[in-house]
């Protein structure tokens, strides 16, 4: 009577189960969980020779950037140190099976109250590029916003020639008054809200505004011809017309999703 060396059905079943399990988890193993903490606090900020105590994230205006790769899981703790109720929306993120992390106050969550915190927990699926985050309650988004940069998966090339550097440009607004008071007055009177005192680039007004000698933006358009540069733009305008030349309105629409601060070549490998 010979000895059979054929594997048993039980062993074959275990082998098949192990192979399928490893195959399903091979790609997610390349992704990581990234932790961020956003402290909503008051900070003195000066623009147009006017200093005001306004709501910021981590004391920055615009707020800090969040960087991740496609497939990464984000755990973002938002801590509220101000008297306003707060919620944060991750603009453009497809919240697949994580709708509770979308951020619109009184719709997908109760806002974060003073002294409280909330952890936004979601995974970036099938997305890459430059998005942005902002407050999603009243007009606090005028000061609470920042870039959300989604890099390709490790080993996945860019869909274009990788630039030497990327120079993000953030278009926003500056109000000498409290934006919350501006919208409150408009609601009481029934009229349109007062327009902002200045448009900003990367949080700074242009050099043509009165009293803008300190804290202004200036762009010197001299780029080296032998390198590739990427310019990304975003309009963050609450009210009023955009400061653009005739015929350029399409640009504002096409680049509405881009919002970030200047990041160098080293950040591409984050």
Tell me the domain boundaries of the chain: 33-156
Rounded Cα distance between 137 and 144, Å, is 10
Report pLDDT for 228: 52
Cα–Cα distance list, 157 to 74, 114, 227, 268 (Å): 22, 44, 18, 12
b/e 49-69 (16+ beta carbons within 10 angstroms → b): eeebebbbbeeebbbbbbbbb
Three-state DSSP class for 112?
Answer: strand
* pTM greater than the 0.75 cutoff: no
Q: Which of 62, 53, 93, 51 is nearest to 76 (CA)?
A: 93
- Cα angle, residue 131 at apex, residues 223 and 150 outer, rounded to 5°: 80
What number does CATH give the domain 33-156?
2.60.40.420
What Rg do the C-alpha atoms of the chain give, in angstroms?
24
Report pLDDT for 129: 87
Rounded Cα distance between 158 and 145, Å, is 26
Rounded Cα distance between 129 and 3, Å, is 60
Please give the structure tokens belonging to residue 250. Answer: 């399409």
Please give the structure tokens belonging to residue 116. Answer: 């409280």
Q: In what order do the strands lie in the sheet with 88-91?
A: 66-69, 145-151, 129-135, 88-91
Report pLDDT for 268: 34
- Give 226's Cβ-side CA count (13 Å radius): 0
- pLDDT digit string (tens) for the chain, length 270 residues: 555 555 666 655 555 555 544 444 444 558 899 999 999 999 999 999 899 999 999 999 999 999 999 999 999 999 999 999 999 999 999 999 999 999 999 999 999 999 999 999 999 999 988 898 999 998 899 999 998 989 999 888 877 787 777 767 778 899 999 988 888 888 888 888 888 999 988 888 877 888 766 656 665 555 455 555 555 554 454 554 444 443 443 333 233 323 233 333 233 334
Three-state DSSP class for 141?
Answer: helix
Cα–Cα distance list, 201 to 61, 152, 166, 208, 235 (Å): 11, 27, 16, 13, 9
Report pLDDT for 20: 46
Are 83 and 55 in contact by the 8 Å Cβ rule? The answer is no
Are 237 and 174 in contact by the 8 Å Cβ rule? The answer is no
- Cα angle, residue 246 at apex, residues 240 and 248 outer, rounded to 5°: 85
Report pLDDT for 208: 81
């Amino acid at each position: 009577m010979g000895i059979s060396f054929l594997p048993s059905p039980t062993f074959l079943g275990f082998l098949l189960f192990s192979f399928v399990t490893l195959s399903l988890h091979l790609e997610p193993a390349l992704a990581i969980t990234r932790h961020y903490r956003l402290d909503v606090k008051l900070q003195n900020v000066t623009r147009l020779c006017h200093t005001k105590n306004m709501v910021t994230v981590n004391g920055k205006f615009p707020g800090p950037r969040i960087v991740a790769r496609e497939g990464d899981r984000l755990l973002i703790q938002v801590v509220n140190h101000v008297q306003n109720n707060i919620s944060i929306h991750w603009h453009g993120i497809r919240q697949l099976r994580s709708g509770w992390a979308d951020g619109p106050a009184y719709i997908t969550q109760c806002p974060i109250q003073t002294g409280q915190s909330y952890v936004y927990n979601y995974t970036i699926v099938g997305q890459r590029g430059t998005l942005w985050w902002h407050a999603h309650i009243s007009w606090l988004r005028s000061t609470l916003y920042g870039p959300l940069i989604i890099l390709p998966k490790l080993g996945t090339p860019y869909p274009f020639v990788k630039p030497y550097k990327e120079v993000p440009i953030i278009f926003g607004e500056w109000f000498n008054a409290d934006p919350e008071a501006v919208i409150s007055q408009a609601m009481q009177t029934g009229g349109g809200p007062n327009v902002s005192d200045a448009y900003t680039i990367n949080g700074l007004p242009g050099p043509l505004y009165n009293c803008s000698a300190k804290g202004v933006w200036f762009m010197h358009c001299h780029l080296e011809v032998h390198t590739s540069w990427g310019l990304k733009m975003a309009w963050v305008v609450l009210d009023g017309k955009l400061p653009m030349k005739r015929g350029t309105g399409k640009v504002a629409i096409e680049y509405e999703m881009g919002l970030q601060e200047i990041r160098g070549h080293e950040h591409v490998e984050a």
